[in-house]
Structure 1
């Protein structure tokens, strides 16, 4: 029987310290990073498509996938978890089973989301790939109309051999250099993959009373999660925000992050419920020390 404090580390403070560090990194990378300035050739028609805007804005992506995913997990844990106290103590009191399981799945979920986003942002700013609508937003003037060699490669900067963006929206010009990989695709496929694993674990009991959940509800919800991610990725190509290779790479990043988190942290383990009149095998936490003590039983 092994005693663990917290989920990602030695205490709850370590858990949320990791999450806060990831959140700060996600916020600071776009603020203090500049994308690699890449050139282009006038023969490259893939960057000369019109700017159409977002079918799914970034805020809607966060609300739909992050907030929606969290809401689904909260509801499912409340309604399906075994009632009663667990063998986990917080300040000397046994926590309910549903709360302990909810803590583990949410902590792992947020940790993986941060990891996926950081990986995506690092690649975006390092590669500096041009979006399909880059030429319109950059507006280098009549550069391509006056050039005699359509395959001539122009680098950013001053001079006849280079180009300068004359577009007025500097923020959009910066964003137009962040095509690879797709952040929408990586986040949406991460959340959908994590939820697919989550529902498969939580709705795996195929007894008579849960047969409907196993054979109808579970695949239906899993299919909706996958469909939502697929629609998000396709919309980025249709909106001229990304090339197909960008959403492919983003989807692979999200799927890989979800698989790694589920396999390494194993957040879907059932928490043992204490029997009536059974005392928790944990000792009370020391005075002034906070954290969750998670007991893993030797029996499966």
Structure 2
């Protein structure tokens, strides 16, 4: 059964009555739907980013007490850490899209264009794929960060260097649990940050980026020139994330359980993004992986993915 016949399944084929002013679906209708979809996707992504921003600007960490003999929060504060916030943000958010860009441009070429038109412009195929894959990556990263930041402020776990930066005025004795205390440390911002230990944001972002990129390479890179090159790159990404996570423990920024939780959150977010939001797992793949191009080039207002049309699925 042809794709055209599949698209017609279940739809009445009645002819318009004499004098009926209605017109047949035009080739512009699938484009209009795509524009609406892109606008909605961008609006949702912006809303997620705004939610993350509001949590960090408006929320205040839960004020947790501490035991006087708790050695796990008595480590010295390190002003310089091995992996800074800027480094993990830049590498974690830019490396995966750059890998996608390099892979798609190598596979399809910089100048190859499909039949699709977007506002009168025919975008190159690599740009279509970059939009689809990197867009999913950004949305998944925003979800992961929102979960991490919300947990940080709700739990308010004290960092390993809390006592060093807080310098509480309360005179401790034995196993006393102190709730009513005042911090005499000079830097209020560092003291507030010392209440945001669980979970580790560095571990979450680094493992999210690593797992997402590993799954992308596994699905899209099919070069047979080497048996180990692709897997070596995948291993390097995981090791880089592992190093970032461990550095947070050795720098006295997190407890080991904070890092474990952050890594699990990031890894789970990456798996969910790839499986349920992208076409990398094959669940939503169209011919050639070009969902954007396929939708734009369909002449009918009824869009049926090629994978479903080939199997005569409604």
Name the structure 2 match of 1:20. Answer: 46
Inter-partner Cα distance in structure 1 for 2:115 and 2:272? 27
Larger mean Cα displacement after TM superposition, 128-137 or 65-74: 65-74
Contact 1:34 1:125 in 2 (8 A): yes
Unpaired runs of at least 5, structure 2: 8-29
Change (3 A) 1:230 1:185: same
Bigger strand share: 1
Superposed displacement of residue 104, structure 1 = 0.6
Name the structure 1 match of 2:160. Answer: 132
Contact 1:35 1:124 in 2 (8 A): yes
SS of the residue 1:212 aligns to: coil
Does residue 1:60 correspond to 2:93, yes or no? no
Inter-partner Cα distance in structure 1 for 2:303 and 2:39? 15
Name the structure 1 match of 2:57. Answer: 31
Q: TM-score, normalised by structure 2?
A: 0.79
Does residue 1:282 correspond to 2:299, yes or no? yes
Q: TM-score, normalised by structure 1?
A: 0.82
Alignment match of 1:71 (pick from 66, 73, 98): 98
Name the structure 1 match of 2:21. Answer: none
Name the structure 1 match of 2:176. Answer: 152
* Deviations, residues 250-270 of structure 1 (Å, cap 9, x unaligned): 000001101111111123343
Change (3 A) 1:123 1:87: farther
Unpaired runs of at least 5, structure 1: 156-161, 274-278, 285-292
Contact 2:245 2:259 in 1 (8 A): yes
Contact 2:128 2:290 in 1 (8 A): no
The structure having more radius of gyration, on CA atoms, is 2
SS of the residue 1:181 aligns to: coil
Contact 2:279 2:289 in 1 (8 A): no
Higher relative contact order (CA 8 A, sep 6+): 1
Between Structure 1 and Structure 2, how many residues are aligned?
269
RMSD over equivalenced CA pairs, Å: 2.5
Name the structure 2 match of 1:288. Answer: none
Superposed displacement of residue 88, structure 1 = 3.9
Does residue 1:229 correspond to 2:255, yes or no? no
Name the structure 2 match of 1:262. Answer: 274
Superposed displacement of residue 272, structure 1 = 5.0
SS of the residue 1:86 aligns to: coil
Contact 1:87 1:95 in 2 (8 A): no
Superposed displacement of residue 121, structure 1 = 0.2
Does residue 1:165 correspond to 2:144, yes or no? no
Name the structure 1 match of 2:20. Answer: none
Alignment match of 2:229 (pick from 186, 196, 217): 217
Name the structure 2 match of 1:276. Answer: none
Larger mean Cα displacement after TM superposition, 254-263 or 74-83: 74-83
Superposed displacement of residue 94, structure 1 = 4.5
Superposed displacement of residue 97, structure 1 = 2.4
**Equivalent residue runs for 1:231-246 within 5 Å:** 231-246=243-258
Contact 2:206 2:241 in 1 (8 A): yes
Inter-partner Cα distance in structure 1 for 2:121 and 2:142? 31
Name the structure 1 match of 2:259. Answer: 247
